[in-house]
Chain A
Amino acid sequence: MQNTNENFSFKKYAWAQFKKNKIALVSLYLLFALIFIALFAPYIANDRPLYAKYEGNILYPAFASETRTDSIYNAKGDFVQVLQYDITDWRQLNLTSVVWAPIPYSAGSMDRYNRDYAAPSGEQRFKNSEGEIIDIPSKFRHKLGTDGIGRDLASGLIHGTRISLMVGLVSMGIASLIGIILGALAGFFGDTKLKMPRIKYHFTLFGIFMGLFYGFGQRKYVLSQAFSEGIGDGMIAMLISVGVVIGITMLFRLLSKAIQVEWLNKEVSVPMDTFVSRGIELLNSIPRLLLIITITAVVERSIWIVMIIIGITGWTGIARFTRAEFLRIRSLEFVQAAESLGYSSIRTIFKHALPNSLAPVFVSIAFGIASAILIESGLSFLGIGVPDDIVTWGSLLNLGRQNLEAWWLIIYPGMAIFITITIYNMIAEASRDALDPKLKS
């Protein structure tokens, strides 16, 4: 019925199929909600107010930079005090009017009146602007409780959302880049289709070797210098290195044209598929969690490094799907048409074949995000790899495990991890069904 429609497009069809799955649709909305929370985390949970009127001055502390320092004068022009935004306890100022963030606590800030695991519904203390210790007003109640050093759990969860989504995004970004490129090359060329003169083949291999030598061996000290100055500088230096590798490889390929000997110019095929498939097999045969744990044990503790490691160990699934899709697609008419028009392989792969093969890959990326989040929270749960001062869902759950009385530190972070993973899995499964009705089970 839909096929008769002139405006029929596969995207619309898939979206219609996806919408039929109500649970998946709810999951998608929940994902948008999570993204919203992650983007606006500093305004949802912050111990600086969103808006405050102090001695006649109107301030927007939550929107200002943390280290901002203001000298406050009252209406008569007399100096009152110096406010340094991040260390001021705004709750104890005598504010004439104020709008607090929905959760008036930051993720790392410690409430010293509610240390030692204040239960959500238990007794909580508060120091008011007169300096008296009273029962907590409902606005400042830690609605999900606190941990051993008085950090608010709700705020920790909100900021943990950021970390979780970022882990999924960054690590799967890296994994997709590697996986799609390798999978596409393996699937498109197979073992026989990439042909080049023998001399060019060997020159390319040699060029890659030389490229690695100049790009990474020679630049070793430049790279480590750049990374010690900051992750941004490091990335730029890394890009230059990659550029050097590509450039030198290209140079050697060009050079090979100069040599004209008949035997050397005989066409040989490059076993692209074998290279990639063996690589996938090798990486799959290593217990991934253990590999990640082992690597994080010998490198510096940093959330970025964890993300990168998860990414470079997680591309095999994506590569397998891309490869399978390319194997199917390369014999279709439009790819053959592109080839017979004389387009270069690169153009055919990336401009024509790739856009038509991304759908199943997308499913595998969505599953991959779920497993990346799972691995990161597992690592934080063990306290490995992720620095101690970063509040993540896994590290909160770990605090709960060490103190079973604080049930809120187990239930809430655990549910947050569980719900996020379920959302991604649901979306992945529903889009698989929508994109390929044959697979529907």
Chain B
Amino acid sequence: MADSIIQLKDISVIFKDEQKELTAVKDVNLEIEKGDIYGVIGYSGAGKSTLVRVINLLQKPTKGTVQVNQQQLLDLDESKLRQARKKIGMIFQHFNLMKSRTVLNNVEYPLLRESISKSDRQDKARKLLELVGLAEFENAYPDQLSGGQKQRVAIARALANDPEVLISDEATSALDPKTTMSILKLLKHLNQQLGVTIVLITHEMQAIKTICHNVAVMEKGQIIERGPVASVFTEPQQPLTKDFVDTSTNVKEALARIGNDPQISKLDENQRLITLSFVGQSSKQSLISELARKLNVDANILFANVDQIDGISVGTMIAILTGTPDTLKQAVSLLTENGVKITEVKSSALKEDVAND
């Protein structure tokens, strides 16, 4: 693809010890388009951090090719590689700021060896601090800042060389949920304002949902599923992906709760327990009241959740439908026709689920 800014081809990373070999990344192909916010999700040990370190060659791959900004990075000599790295910013889970330098000095550090004057350099650093909302902290030292503020300084520093790509390696994992949201918002803002392509590594689906357009799911060094966030989110194919989705929508928790309630798990013959998933348009229609009006089928809603994913509404509902066997069948087809995905939950399966947990 002409406008893809990152192209990883057949990447494998094998760590060799005296005794054993560990394959951290196995035959991964990854293409990321310019301007995208691309998420890579997986549990720790899945190889996602190793994979993204291949993008700026902090980790040399055992096999494969790395192309960033139309340059084959593995063909570059050391000094050209350093030049290329300046166009690939990176932020980290533990911020990695220099304790001995002030906030301003940290941000101007990447420019120290560039041929610009001190006043230009500091002007630029001040502008970046303004951009991340920390203008008044320029003379503070990192140890005087909160986690969220430190990450903002790290972001400003990563942007000092006007990078084309910004890699975020678990950048919000050490932060509380509120701070996480504000950092994610800042990243989205930077993506829109500066056009910087963002690669976001995380183990939280919430982060992916909030800002990513595309996502890759990693397990055991391989990408097991990928695509636009909305479609991966609504139709997860792999068990691990389903797991991430369920955790982030709380559906799993809700089903467990329902399974534990004896009154709900014991259904009459004219009742059915179902989960409904709907995307985009179908979330705007008043289907539930239509069921009652047209088919005389009542819906007892036990759980409902609506998310905004990449600008599209995605919802999940767990409900007990009550009607005659005939009208229940019609109800299901009415919902399906309107783009709602129906999964029946057997009460026996519920119990098993709970037992397994």
Are the chains A and B members of one assembly?
Answer: no
